[in-house]
A and B are shown apart, each in its own frame.
Chain A
Amino acid sequence: MSDSLDAYLILSGILFAIGTFGFLARRNAISMLMSIELMLNAVNLAIIAFGSFIEPLRADGSVIALMVMAVAAAEATVGLAIVMAIYRNRRTPLVDEYDAMRR
């Protein structure tokens, strides 16, 4: 099982679907950010799987995964800073109460 590319890709697909559900269904902004991290990890797992199974991509897969991690760190920093800034004004972390621009 650990020797087939399909197992890794199916695992990453299921994790991506879980992350999608969390992003669509949760009310808390930080929960949504955590779901985005899950989805990024699923994509990383697929990249690693391709890199370790397909010969011409061998080292490139790991390098791209490291780049994705760095971009995910930047995204988490800015996203959490925005959530903190909104929380300071609105006193709530729930995204459906951020309705100042549609009233």
Chain B
Amino acid sequence: MPRSLINILGPLVIVGALVSLPVGLAILGVIGFDEDLLFFILAEVMLLSGLLVVTMRDIIRCGLAMIVCFLSLAGIYVIAGAPLVAAAQVLIYIGAISVLILFAIMLTQTKDAPPSLVFQTQALGAGVASVILGLIIVITVSATDWGEVGTRLRTATDALAEVLFRDYVLAFEIVSVLLLAAVIGGIYVAKREEGGAP
């Protein structure tokens, strides 16, 4: 099979598998058709791209998979009823942090580094530990009674603004000072020393 055909067919097969599983579940009546279907597809895409971020060998592709992960997470925020946070996720994470990380990847990539040594020697132990951690979290969440769980409601933006600028105004100001300090500190740490080593 020629390589270009694989490059076209492979993503199609993956997308087909990702879509057909929740659609099949919806037809069987396990999950609902409207928002449940969308939630399931977004959750699948998010977990798959998150796994790709931590397992792929090419770090540029890891960065691109991270953008996909953040984007599907923004969709989940919209379903959960926080559209303003979803917009901020797209602006801050995809627009700023991902681009910053991609620039840092391009600045630190070297041709002579062996790409096969992606993982530390303790990767197996780390895998076992994180699987156990995930299982513990899942079991704890399903066993806990969360008490007064209401129905899912959209957070109105004006109510959010009122809370942000009345109850949390001190935290807001502190965060703005923190961002200023981070910008100045980042410039100071990353700038080239005058007359030092090149």
Residues in chain A within 8 A of chain B (CB atoms): 1-3, 5-11, 13-22, 24-28, 30-31, 33-35, 37-38, 41, 44-45, 48-49, 51-55, 58-63, 65-67, 69-78, 80-85, 87-89, 91-94, 96
A20 to B152: give the CA distance in the assembly, Å. 29
Q: Which of B46, B105, B178, B190 contacts A15 (CB 8 A)?
A: B46
**B interface: dominant SS:** helix
| B153: chain A residues within 8 A (beta carbon) | 52, 58
- In B32-74, the 8 Å CB interface with A consists of 32, 35-36, 38-40, 43, 46-47, 50-51, 53-54, 59, 62-63, 66, 69-70, 73
Q: B141 at the A/B interface (Cβ < 8 Å)?
A: yes
Write the nearest CB–CB distance from A62 to chain B, whole angstroms: 5
Q: How many residues of B contact A (CB 8 A)?
A: 94
Q: Which of A15, A62, A77, A88 contacts B182 (CB 8 A)?
A: A77
Q: Would you call B179 and A73 a contact (CB within 8 A)?
A: yes
Q: Would you call B141 and A9 a contact (CB within 8 A)?
A: yes
Chain A's closest residue to B52 (CB) is A18
A18 to B48: give the CA distance in the assembly, Å. 10
Indicate with 1 or 0, residue by residue over B137-170, a CB within 8 angstroms of chain A CB atoms: 1100110001011111111100110111001100
| B108: chain A residues within 8 A (beta carbon) | 30, 83-84, 87, 93
Residues in chain B within 8 A of chain A (CB atoms): 31-32, 35-36, 38-40, 43, 46-47, 50-51, 53-54, 59, 62-63, 66, 69-70, 73, 76-77, 79-82, 84-85, 88-89, 92-93, 96-97, 100-101, 104-105, 107-110, 113, 117-120, 122-123, 125-127, 129-131, 133-134, 137-138, 141-142, 146, 148-156, 159-160, 162-164, 167-168, 171-172, 175, 178-179, 181-183, 185-187, 189-190, 192, 197
Tally the A-B contacts, defined by beta carbons under 8 Å: 263
Q: Would you call A17 and B150 a contact (CB within 8 A)?
A: no
A13 to B65: give the CA distance in the assembly, Å. 19
**A interface: dominant SS:** helix
Q: Would you call A21 and B54 a contact (CB within 8 A)?
A: yes
Chain A's closest residue to B109 (CB) is A93
Write the nearest CB–CB distance from A91 to chain B, whole angstroms: 7
| A62: chain B residues within 8 A (beta carbon) | 82, 84-85, 155, 160
Q: Which of B137, B183, B190 contacts A16 (CB 8 A)?
A: B137
Q: Would you call B104 and A38 a contact (CB within 8 A)?
A: no
Please, could you name 29 A-B residue pairs with CB atoms under 8 Å apart, sorted by A?
A2-B79, A3-B36, A11-B43, A17-B137, A18-B51, A18-B53, A18-B54, A24-B122, A25-B122, A30-B59, A34-B63, A38-B50, A38-B69, A44-B85, A45-B73, A48-B82, A52-B82, A52-B155, A59-B160, A62-B82, A69-B93, A70-B175, A71-B178, A74-B178, A80-B101, A83-B108, A88-B192, A88-B197, A96-B120
